[in-house]
Every structure is written in C-alpha cells, then in structure tokens.
Amino acid sequence: MRDTELCRHVLGLESPWEVSRVDLSAEGERIDVWVDHPKGTRWKCPECDVMLPTYDDAEEREWRHLDTCQFLTYLHARTPRVECPKHGVFRVRLPWAEPMACPLRTTRRRPCSSTSSKRLDT
C-alpha cells in the first residue's frame, strides 16, 4: 500500500478525496497531508444539494486534524467551488470542516474529539 493510500485510510477520507502528497517532519513531530480530488468531480450545492461541476478551487487552506500518534497532523486542500444557477457561487462542504469536525487549532497537544465538540453544542 502506498503511503498516500495508507494516509487516506488513517485519516478516514472518502471518495472523491484522495491524498496527493504527505510530508513527515520527524524533528517537528508533524505530518502535512495534501488532499485533492480528481478532475471532473461533481459536488453538491451546499444550499440545494443539486450536483454541479467544479467551478474553480479556492486558495489552499490548512486544517488541523486529529494527531497521528504523537505527530501533529494538518490537512491542506483547495476547497472546490460550484456555481449553482439558483444560488450562485459557493464553496462545497468539506467532510473534515463540518461542524462536528475538529477546527484548526494553533496550540500544541490539545486533544480534539467529536465528544468534546458535541458537549459544547448541547
């Protein structure tokens, strides 16, 4: 299994998302993972769920993911945008950036889990 495929499984990424590159810094205890999608992928309009082609991709952003063992783990991706004839141009929803996903954190070693997010919502 290639390292990018292994990383995709470890991070729980599903199609159409695929890992295009992985950088591991042993000294920095950090893993950076670049996530991409195949050309021609269609996305749901976040307002009405109609499937649309990619309009363009926004600038690359970085999200903090759950740590991989002791390594801080960051996802990098360009969020696809769609142009819905009814609602206009929108960024699509990203599975790792949904409300229950871990937000980008700048502090080190802070555990982040869906349980703690859920507690905040109630």
Name the residues that contact Zn ion, by CB under 5 A: 45, 47-48, 84, 86-87
Query: For Zn ion, which is the closer residue by CB, 48 or 89?
Result: 48
Minimum distance of Zn ion from residue 66's CB (angstroms) = 32
Report which of 53, 40, 57, 48 is spatially closest to residue 94, judged by C-alpha positions: 57
Query: For Zn ion, which is the closer residue by CB, 48 or 104?
Result: 48
Phi, psi of 69, deg, nearest 5: 55, -125
C-alpha 94/C-alpha 73 separation (Å) is: 17
Query: For Zn ion, which is the closer residue by CB, 11 or 84?
Result: 84
Minimum distance of Zn ion from residue 56's CB (angstroms) = 16
Minimum distance of Zn ion from residue 52's CB (angstroms) = 8
Query: For Zn ion, which is the closer residue by CB, 6 or 58?
Result: 58
